[in-house]
Chain A
Amino acid sequence: QQQVKQSPQSLIVQKGGISIINCAYENTAFDYFPWYQQFPGKGPALLIAIRPDVSEKKEGRFTISFNKSAKQFSLHIMDSQPGDSATYFCAATDGETSGSRLTFGEGTQLTVNP
């Protein structure tokens, strides 16, 4: 059973539009929520991350919104560019314990059309 559920599975947006990817988790022990960007044949690259003591974090065009009570978090990509076309994974883990596994969502394949 997937402990982190991600939607949508695929997303197509126009250049300059906003891309929104949503995730929900079940395990209340999770306290660190990173997003990874992955290009075909490459390793996942850490994009942005949030801890549950804040409701929003912004880095450039990327924003994470976090709703602790609903156990949901989302990634917003503003002014989406063709170079953003990749697969995005949300993840969750125990951020305080070294060696704790990342539990990934199923991934969202984002295509940004020029």
Chain B
Amino acid sequence: AAGVIQSPRHLIKEKRETATLKCYPIPRHDTVYWYQQGPGQDPQFLISFYEKMQSDKGSIPDRFSAQQFSDYHSELNMSSLELGDSALYFCASSGIKNIQYFGAGTRLSVL
């Protein structure tokens, strides 16, 4: 069965640079979620989109923005990167009911 696809899997950036993470949901899923996970921590919710509209918003920095496109894929844009942004970033998708399936994640390292 098709899963949530995230790209890239690994990303290395310098401080103050910009990064774009992409997420392709499971086919026929209309909702995407973004989570950030630091080492040894639980995933922290950033933002979600349902039918291309922002649905819920968590502790996402103003330097970050996201959107969901007409084909339901989503992109998380991160600007003015800081050392503290280094983390695993997960995308999840859901269809009917709020059953969320996660992708393999993007490991972002900010040097």
Q: Name A residues whose Cβ lies closer than 8 Å to a Cβ of B.
A: 32, 34, 36, 41-46, 49, 89, 93-107
Looking at chain A's contact residues, the main secondary structure is: loop
A100 touches B98 (CB 8 A): yes
- Partner of A34 from the list B35, B50, B51, B99 (CB cut-off 8 Å) is B99
> What is the minimal beta-carbon distance from A46 to any residue of chain B, in angstroms?
6
* Given the contacts A41-B107, A45-B102, A46-B100, A99 and B42 also touching, CB distance less than 8 Å: no
Q: Name B residues whose Cβ lies closer than 8 Å to a Cβ of A.
A: 4, 30-31, 33, 35, 41-43, 45, 48-51, 55-56, 58, 88, 90, 92, 94, 97-105, 107
A43 touches B42 (CB 8 A): no
* Given the contacts A43-B103, A93-B98, A97-B98, A102 and B45 also touching, CB distance less than 8 Å: yes
**Considering the chains assembled together, what is the distance between the CA atoms of A104 and B35 in angstroms?**
11
> What is the minimal beta-carbon distance from A93 to any residue of chain B, in angstroms?
6
| Interface-central residue, B4, B35, B42, B45, by most chain A CB under 10 Å | B42
> What is the minimal beta-carbon distance from B72 to any residue of chain A, in angstroms?
12
B97 touches A96 (CB 8 A): yes
> What is the minimal beta-carbon distance from B106 to any residue of chain A, in angstroms?
10
B50 touches A42 (CB 8 A): no
Residues of B within 8 A of A105 (CB): 42
Chain A, Cβ-Cβ closest to B95: A98
B50 touches A102 (CB 8 A): no
A89 touches B45 (CB 8 A): no
- Partner of B31 from the list A44, A89, A98, A103 (CB cut-off 8 Å) is A98
> What is the minimal beta-carbon distance from A49 to any residue of chain B, in angstroms?
7
